[in-house]
Amino acid sequence: MSTLVISNLTKSFHKKIILEDVSVQFSTGDILGIFGRNGTGKSTLLQCMFGILDSDSIVIRINNKEINPKDVIASKKIGYLPQDSFLPKEKKVRDIIPIIFPDGEDQDKIFYTQGIHKIENQKAGTLSLGELRYLEVVLLCHLKHDFLLMDEPFSMIQPLYKELIKELLYTVKKTKGIAITDHYYQDVLSITDTNVLLKDRGLIPVFDKKDLVLYEYLTS
């Protein structure tokens, strides 16, 4: 089991503090849900954890070994799914997969993943939102990284693909730790082991839907 610990995370924009002394921890085998209203800093949190956004301060440790934020991507320990698609729109799915996974055995695993065969001859730019998001999640889940950060994997996609993503995440969590942010709270709560709410620049533990109401993320 591997454990990712983020501590002392503070981030401000133009002197406005968005995150203040935030700490978060999860391990392989865990799915962590991170809730929060628009503008509270959910995406900022993930981007700081992944090292693509500079923090005012942050400490990143994996199994008690500290990692420089600028070295997170190169370490290949943490993978990141952004809100916006990262795939080249003009390339076919079957041509995108070898770019990310040069090894033939890894390619085969992806091509034989449920639902990929029927879209492999389509260009990424022609896929539905559900097909595109599912493909991106499949690619991310097949990385050898121990931890995955996912920004809105369920947003605006068809129920079929939500279920496929849930099944996939439930399978890969056996060997990976996963953190998810998404406004589709019911989908998140259905697969997470632990949950937190980002509010007032910090994280609050959440145990069920009632807590989301209590802390005014949801209306009663």
Rounded Cα distance between 91 and 197, Å, is 38
* Burial category of 85 from C-beta neighbours within 10 Å (exposed 0-12, middle 13-18, buried 19 and up): middle
Over the stretch 163-220, which tens digit does the pLDDT of each residue have?
A: 999 999 999 999 999 999 999 999 999 999 999 999 999 999 999 999 999 999 998 7
Rounded Cα distance between 12 and 114, Å, is 42
Beta strands 202-206 and 194-199 are antiparallel
Rounded Cα distance between 159 and 89, Å, is 23
Fold observed for domain 3-86+126-214: Rossmann fold (3.40.50)
Over the stretch 32-50, which tens digit does the pLDDT of each residue have?
A: 999 999 999 999 999 999 9
| pTM for this model (two decimals) | 0.95
Over the stretch 98-111, which tens digit does the pLDDT of each residue have?
A: 999 999 899 999 99
Domain range list for the chain: 3-86+126-214
